[in-house]
Structures are given as C-alpha cells and as structure tokens.
RNA sequence: GCGCCCUUAGCUCAGUUGGAUAGAGCAACAGCCUUCUAAGCUGUGGGUCGGUGGUUCGAAUCCACCAGGGCGCGCCA
C-alpha cells in the first residue's frame, strides 16, 4: 500500500464517484485529483472530482459534489466534508491519520517517498558527455548535477535507471587534441621549435593551447622518451605517432574528467566511446539500415534562411529524412566528402542504447544543443518505430557571480574556470544543492558570496541547518533519556496524540506530501522541485523550533514529560529522515552539526 | 527570416501540470535570546503574472498574434 495519503484518499474519492456516476469513463476518472489545500481554512485536501465529471455525468457539479459529501463523510479518515466554490469538495482529515505517518516514515527511513510510478521502465539518462579535450568547467557542472539528480529521482520514483556518459572521442577535435598534446610532449623533451613554428605545421593550426596539457606532454615524454620525435626533436611524420598520442591523451583526459566527476559525487554506470562505436562500424551499419528503410537519400539542402554562410554553395550529401518525423529539414549523415557527420555517429550511438532495451532515453544537454533535439527525436522514432521515447532536458548557462559582478573566465586573472576550482571554493554539497535551485531551462546566476553565506537566502545552508537542528535535538535527547530511548525503533511506538499544535500539524502535513513531490518531480523531469520542497520543509521545522521559544510547552525536550517528548522526537526524527531522503536524491550529504 | 527557451513584487526566484484571495527570500520598517544553535523566528508594506485577444465552471499555467531577453539554424562537436 502506498504511503501517500493523498493517493489513498483519491482512491476513496474515485470509488465514491463511481457509485454516483456508474458509467464514469476511465479518462475522466484519471483526471480526478486530490490535492493538499493551499489554505488550511479550506481543510486538508480538496478534490476536483465533481467538476471534471460533471459533463460526462450530465449533472451539475454542485449536485455531484453534494452526493460526494454524503459518501465521503462516511470514510473513517474524514473528519469533515464541505462544498466550496463551483464544486470543489474540501476534506478535513482526522489528525490521527496524518500522525500515523510518523512511525511509517521512521520504519521506512530514507525509502519513504519511494514510488512505483516508474513501473520499472528502463530509462537511460545521458549527461555531462564533455569532450575529452580539456578539464571540466562550470559549464559542464550544471548538466552533471541536474543529470545525476534526475537519475536519482527517477530511480526513487520506480524507474530502472542507467546513468551514462558518452565520450566524444572521435572526429577532428581529438586529432587537434593529439597535435596539442604532441606539442607539449616536444616541449617536455626540449624541442627548439617555437609555438608558432609548430602551429604552422599543424593542419588547421594549433588548438587547445591551455596549460592543462603540460602534464600530459610530460607523461608522454616519460613513457616514450624522444622516440616519437625526429632526432633533432622536431616533428616526426604524424602517422608514426598520432594514433598513439591521441589514444593516450584521451585516456589521460578522461582520467582527469572522471576525477572531476568523482569530486562532484557523480558516479555514472556506463561510459560509451564514440571512437569504439565508429571503429566497430556501427555508423556504416546504421546508415545501411536507414537506407534499406528508405529513410535516406542523396540530396542538396537549401541554404539556411536569413544569415547565409559566406562560403555557401550547394553540395550533394547523404541526408536522413528527418522531416518524416517532425523535424524542419532533412539532416546530413555524410559530409560532401563522404565522411560521417557527428549526427550520424550519434544516431548510431542512440541506436546502441535502443539495442540495450531502454524504454526511455533522456539526454541532458546544454541549451546550445536545443536545435539538435528534434532531429535526434526523429532518429529515435525512426529506429524504434515509436516504441522508445526520446527526451531532452536542456540546461541553460550559469553565470558565476562574485560581489554582484560576473566572474570573468580568465585563469591568468586568478579567477577560476574549472569545475575543480569551483568545488574547492564552495564545496561539493553547496555546488550540487545550488545548481538545483533553479529550473534547468532557466538561466541562473551562481553567486559565490551567497553560496557560502549562512543565511536564509542560501537554500543549501537553510536546509542543512534544519537537519543539524534535528540531529542536535536527538543528541540532547540521548543524553537526557539514554540512547536506547531515542532509536527509530523505539520512537515508532510513541503515542502521538499530543502533537496537536498548528506548527506541529503543518510540519506533519508537509512530510505527508513528500511522496507526491517525488512523483510530480519525476514525471516533470524537474529535480529542482526537491530543493524547493526541502526549503519549505526546513521553514516549517524552523518555525516549530521557534514556537518552543514563545511557548515552553512546545519545546521538544521536556524531562518531566517523557511521553510527550517521545512524540515530538518522533516528529523530529521523521523530519530528519525526509530531509535526508531528499538530499540523497540531490546527491548532497546531510550535515550533522553546524559549529 | 525560422525554430526552441525565458519574461511573476524594487532585486533573486517558486508556483503541486487548468483550481479558491498569485507565494518565498533579499532589501525597508517594527518586534522575539536567564530555556533544545537568534546562522533562527514573528509581523507590516510592496503585483494590470511582458501586452492583446481566445478556449471554459475557472488561466500566471493551454492556444493565437505582438513586444523584449537568451540560444541555435549544411560540410563543428
């Protein structure tokens, strides 16, 4: 049975509605909601059942509502029913029904809030997927955190989740990377070439001039000595070294990236290599397959409207019929020279995910990839026959702010650019929490001063403070009553009738909404909702805490009233459990004390 | 020119997938510490939800058009 008392009441409401409207269509029943009320004056829950069913029942909403009132008044958990507005039915719930959640929360621990809405559907969440051409920077960070939290959230909601990283280790960029690493290698073995001399010898010129490749060059020098260079330490023929240098450099850069991910607390299950896929011939197989399905043709695209590239000229390409599946134009799979496009490789990659049997593919992407979504959706639809759903979560850019000013991305000026710098400055948990305090598709400002400030407008701090206070009370209780008296097990059997203050009941009602928050956030693919739920929960708890200052009888710990104290400790412990449950989704460690 | 995202209090943002009188924090003002952490809490003021139409019992939310901001638009990934 679900722990969501709103879901249980919804079942009761629908059962009653079926008595009133015997031939109620299922799609109407599906629209029936039982929601927490915004205003306690309206009761604890409200249902729209009479409003949504009125048309199908050919009855006035008020009339259905009146009948519902009669039925629902009989339900044991219901303390009062009334009609409001055009036909809402408001329900007051027996406080005991809410209080009964506390032992359930304590018994389930952080598993409270787990849901089965995912139906064990197999979901692949692909995120980060930074090119292995440099260290991770803040731009990758948001996608990493959002993707990781989304994956955790879906797992909690009952999906079978695989977290995946796609290594873009094929194409021209990694060749450029190999040249750049080779330059650092030549430097490490003492070449006399200048950077510009070297750059002139590189097809397309030297890219990736960042200092982060210096250690890579040194490592290559340790491994190979001068054997990859000419005897005069000049440039050897590329075919003698480029494959080796590229592979070893990619390995080293991926080592760096995995190190960064580890520091961020991101642990992906699967790393897929574009190069491995290409070398196994997956792209060719894919193109043949699409061709046999008549989804490919040789053609010439129209120039893009508006701003036409200066060097535009029509060229025949191998095109995928993306427009058959809702995209705006057909998309090239082979360049005019016959080589595969990135998109072709990426379709092959997504096809490999389909082969692994996923029901839903979710890509967490930067907003600059927004235009890419329709074509990949088209490809997945074409390949899966519409059986597999492709979704994208787009993350808008993050502006790092300090003292109200944007931080320039300049290493030389001493302002950081890498993820590692950010983590060192504010810490992993604050980074993760803060990245989840905005909708992914809204731009965000990451204020370094606010991130470490210990005030209410720092959501991370405020939530952690609430948890620390819970733990502090429980520690003090152990001193007062002994450790055995305050275990979850013993608190489960506390008598809870004394929890009747508004602040206490408000907190309990908040705890009761956690399962539906999980479900709604998972359905919407919006992990940021968890952060805001925890913020609201923390506010309820801080309010209750301070009630104990105004009214001493509401203090948690009362030595001469052990029974009432145990009830309140059960509430405190349950609050801590739910905070931990939420933080676990976000990948944030709960804080035990703040000193 | 086209597509996608965004626009809510002076500022930063939520808004339970269409529900009741649109909510928090910051900033301003007024209060609360012999007591479990005052790193907190309470109260006051502050809004034509970018604009105009539409859909219906009901719109910040859905649709159309318009305005402003961001991103993208073959042979980059």
The least confident of A326-330, A415-419, A515-519, A534-538 is: A415-419
Query: pLDDT digit string (tens) for A201-211?
Result: 999 889 888 88
Nucleotides of chain B in contact with protein CB (under 7 A) are 1-7, 12-17, 19-21, 23-26, 32, 35-42, 57-58, 70-77
* pLDDT reported for residue A344: 94
A499 with A568, same domain: the answer is yes
Q: Tell me, yes or no, whether A246 and A232 share the same domain.
A: yes
- Mean pLDDT, chain A, whole residue set: 90
Token look-up 């509605």 returns A17
A198: in domain: yes
Please give the model's pTM, rounded to 2 decimal places: 0.95
pLDDT at A417: 63
Q: Which of residues 132-151 of A touch strand B (CB under 7 A)?
A: none
Do A344 and A462 fall into the same domain? Answer: no
Does residue A248 surpass a pLDDT of 60?
Answer: yes
Q: Is the CB of A558 under 7 A from strand B?
A: no
Distances from the Cα of A179 to the Cαs of A221, A229, A592, in angstroms? 14, 13, 49
* Domain identity same for A20 and A68: yes
A325 touches strand B (CB under 7 A): no
A533 touches strand B (CB under 7 A): no
Candidate from A3-17, A343-357, A436-450, A466-480 with smallest mean pLDDT = A436-450
Residue A1 banded pLDDT, cuts 50, 70, 90 = low
Categorize the per-residue pLDDT at A310 as very low, low, confident or very high, splitting at 50, 70 and 90.
Answer: low
Mean pLDDT of all residues in A46-72: 90
pLDDT over 60 at A215, yes or no: yes
pLDDT digits (tens, 9 = 90+) for A401-420: 877 777 765 444 444 568 88
**Torsion A16-A20-A22-A28 (CA) sign:** negative
At A85 the pLDDT is 80
The helix (run of H) or strand (run of E) holding residue A586 is: helix A562-586
**CATH of residue A288:** 3.40.50.620
The bridge status of strand A88-93 relative to strand A45-47 is antiparallel
Is the per-residue pLDDT at A6 higher than 90?
yes
Query: Of all residues in chain A, what percent carry a pLDDT higher than 70?
Result: 97
Closest CA to A122 of A355, A360, A393, A351: A360
**What are phi and psi for residue A16, nearest 5 degrees?**
-65, -40
- State which residue has its Cα closest to the C1' atom of B39: A454
Q: Please provide the DSSP assignment of A49-64 as one string.
A: HHHHHHHHHTS-HHHH
CA angle in degrees (0–180, nearest 5) for A295-A299-A305? 105
Q: Which nucleotide does the CA of A474 lie closest to, via C1'?
A: B36
Residue A129 has pLDDT above 90, yes or no: no
pLDDT at A359 over 70: yes
Nearest nucleic acid nucleotide to A306, CA to C1' distance? B1
Q: How far apart are CA A204 and CA A227, in angstroms?
A: 25
> Is A481 contained in some domain?
yes
Angle subtended at Cα A264 by Cα A532 and Cα A147, rounded to the nearest 5 degrees: 55
Residue reference for tokens 């015997």:
A22
Return the structure tokens found at A385: 């026959």
Both A177 and A309 in one domain: the answer is: no
Give me the number of domains chain A comprises: 4
Q: Examine residue A259 and state whether it is found in any structural domain, yes or no.
A: yes
Residue corresponding to tokens 């009941």 = A505
Q: Which domain holds residue A42?
A: 5-93
Q: If you measure CA to C1', which residue is closest to nucleotide B36?
A: A473
- The pLDDT of residue A507 is 95
Residue A141: alpha-carbon gap to chain centroid: 12
A309 Cβ contacts chain B strand, under 7 Å: yes
A394 touches strand B (CB under 7 A): yes
DSSP state of A2: -
Rounded Cα gap, residues A228 and A221, in angstroms: 9
A562 is near strand B: CB distance < 7 Å? no
The residue from A240, A264, A288 where one domain ends is A264
Q: Is the CB of A552 under 7 A from strand B?
A: yes
């Amino acid at each position: 049975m679900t722990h969501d008392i709103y879901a249980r009441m919804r079942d009761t409401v629908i059962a009653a509605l079926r008595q009133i409207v015997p031939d109620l269509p299922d799609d109407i029943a599906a629209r029936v909601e039982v929601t927490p009320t915004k205003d306690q004056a309206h009761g604890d829950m409200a249902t729209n059942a009479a409003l949504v069913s009125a048309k199908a029942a050919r009855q006035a909403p008020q009339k259905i509502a009146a009948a519902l009132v009669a039925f629902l008044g009989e339900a044991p958990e219901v303390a009062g029913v009334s009609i409001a507005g055009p036909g809402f039915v408001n329900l007051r719930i027996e406080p005991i029904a809410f209080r009964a959640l506390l032992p359930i929360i304590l018994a389930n621990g952080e598993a409270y809030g787990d849901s089965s809405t995912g139906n064990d559907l197999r979901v692949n969440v692909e995120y980060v997927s930074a090119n292995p051409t440099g260290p991770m920077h803040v731009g990758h960070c948001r996608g990493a955190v959002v993707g990781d939290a989304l994956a955790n959230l879906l797992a909690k909601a009952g999906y079978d989740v695989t977290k995946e990283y796609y290594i873009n280790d094929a194409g021209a960029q990694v060749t450029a990377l190999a040249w750049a690493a080779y330059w650092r290698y030549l430097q490490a073995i003492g070449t006399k070439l200048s950077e510009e001399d070297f750059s002139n010898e590189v097809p397309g010129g030297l890219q990736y001039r960042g200092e982060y490749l210096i250690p890579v060059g040194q490592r290559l020098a340790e491994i190979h000595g001068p054997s990859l260079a000419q005897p005069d330490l000049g440039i050897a023929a590329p075919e003698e070294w480029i494959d080796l240098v590229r592979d070893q450099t990619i390995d080293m850069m991926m080592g760096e990236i995995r190190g960064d991910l580890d520091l961020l607390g991101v642990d992906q299950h699967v790393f897929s290599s574009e190069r491995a896929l290409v070398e196994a011939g997956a792209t060719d197989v894919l193109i043949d397959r699409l061709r046999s399905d008549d989804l490919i043709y040789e053609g010439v695209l129209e120039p893009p409207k508006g701003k036409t590239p200066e060097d535009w000229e029509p060229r025949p390409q191998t095109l995928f019929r993306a427009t058959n599946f809702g995209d705006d134009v057909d998309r090239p799979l082979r360049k005019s020279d016959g080589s595969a496009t990135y998109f072709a490789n990426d379709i092959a990659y997504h096809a490999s995910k389909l082969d692994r049997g996923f029901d839903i593919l979710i890509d967490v992407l930067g907003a600059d990839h927004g235009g890419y979504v329709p074509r990949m959706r088209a490809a997945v639809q074409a390949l899966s026959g519409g059986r597999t759903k492709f979704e994208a979560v787009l993350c808008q850019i993050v502006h790092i702010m300090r003292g109200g000013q944007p931080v320039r991305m300049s290493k030389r000026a001493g302002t950081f650019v890498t993820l590692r710098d950010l983590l060192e400055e504010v810490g992993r948990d604050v980074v993760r929490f803060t990245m989840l305090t905005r909708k992914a598709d809204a731009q965000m400002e990451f204020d370094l001063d606010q991130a470490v400030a210990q005030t209410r407008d720092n959501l991370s701090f405020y939530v952690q403070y609430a948890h620390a206070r819970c733990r502090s009370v429980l520690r003090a209780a152990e001193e007062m009553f002994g450790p055995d008296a305050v275990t979850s097990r013993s608190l489960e059997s506390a008598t809870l009738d004394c929890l009747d203050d508004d602040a206490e009941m408000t907190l309990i009602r908040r705890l009761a909404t956690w399962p539906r928050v999980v479900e709604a956030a998972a359905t919407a693919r919006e992990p940021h909702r968890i952060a805001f739920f925890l913020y609201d929960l923390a506010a309820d708890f801080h309010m209750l805490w301070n009630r104990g200052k105004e009214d001493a009888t509401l203090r948690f710990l009362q030595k001469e009233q052990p029974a009432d104290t145990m009830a309140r400790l059960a509430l405190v412990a349950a609050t801590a459990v739910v905070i931990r449950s939420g933080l676990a989704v976000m990948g944030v460690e709960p804080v035990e004390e703040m000193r």
